[in-house]
Amino acid sequence: MCQSEVQLSCSSTSSSLEELRGKQYPVCLRRRSDGTVSAIFSQFSFGTGTGETEEEATEDAGYILAWGLHYYIEAGEDIPEPASLQAAEAIMKDWDVDDSNVVSVSWAQVEVKPEFIEEDP
């Protein structure tokens, strides 16, 4: 998981999402010609947030980040430290992403919030 041409550091395997609380991961916000926004984590491939606005896409990405990291923890995977914006942009350039209907790109930070995971009783 922590392999890339861009040097990223990995945290030790976390035993809970609570240990990651407050960490902020960069997310690429891509506005499409139809007005929708997608939020893509360059460090992870576990999902894409979507919304009608950047705020909606970023909030959706927060849930995806929490659930994705939750599954990594359950599987005993190493979780990378958040990349710098420069590193995240470099990683994103290596992705084969369809840019044909993208009209603008910006970046945001998404905070790990364990409360996005509903605990089973």
Query: What is the spatial distance between Cα 16 and Cα 14, in angstroms, rounded to a whole number?
Result: 6
Residue 7 reports pLDDT greater than 90 = no
Residue 111 reports pLDDT greater than 60 = yes
Q: Flag whether 52 is in a domain.
A: yes
Return the higher-pLDDT residue of 95 and 75: 75
Q: Flag whether 97 is in a domain.
A: yes
31 and 20 Cβ atoms separated by less than 8 Å: no
Determine the pLDDT at residue 94: 83
Q: Mean pLDDT across the stretch 14-37? A: 93
33 and 100 Cβ atoms separated by less than 8 Å: no
Total domains in the chain come to 1
The torsion angles phi and psi of 116, rounded to 5 degrees, stand at -70, -15
Residue 121 reports pLDDT greater than 50 = no
Q: Flag whether 62 is in a domain.
A: yes
- Beta-strand ranges (E) seen in 1-121 are 24-32, 37-40, 48-51, 102-111
Give me the percent of the chain exceeding a pLDDT of 90.
73
Q: Flag whether 54 is in a domain.
A: yes
Q: Flag whether 50 is in a domain.
A: yes
Confidence of residue 11 (pLDDT cuts 50, 70, 90): low
Q: Which two tokens stand for residue 120?
A: 């089973």
Q: Flag whether 81 is in a domain.
A: yes
Determine the pLDDT at residue 73: 94
User: Which runs of consecutive H residues, i.e. helices, occur in the chain?
Assistant: 54-75, 85-94
Q: Domain of 86: which CATH number?
A: 3.30.160.250
Amino acid in position 102 = V
Q: Residue 55: which domain range?
A: 19-113
Q: What is the pTM of this model?
A: 0.84
Determine the pLDDT at residue 120: 41
Q: Flag whether 6 is in a domain.
A: no
Residue 42 reports pLDDT greater than 80 = yes
Residue 97 reports pLDDT greater than 90 = no
Q: Flag whether 9 is in a domain.
A: no
Sign of CA dihedral 29, 33, 35, 64: negative
Residue 99 reports pLDDT greater than 90 = no
Q: Which two tokens stand for residue 97?
A: 């992403």
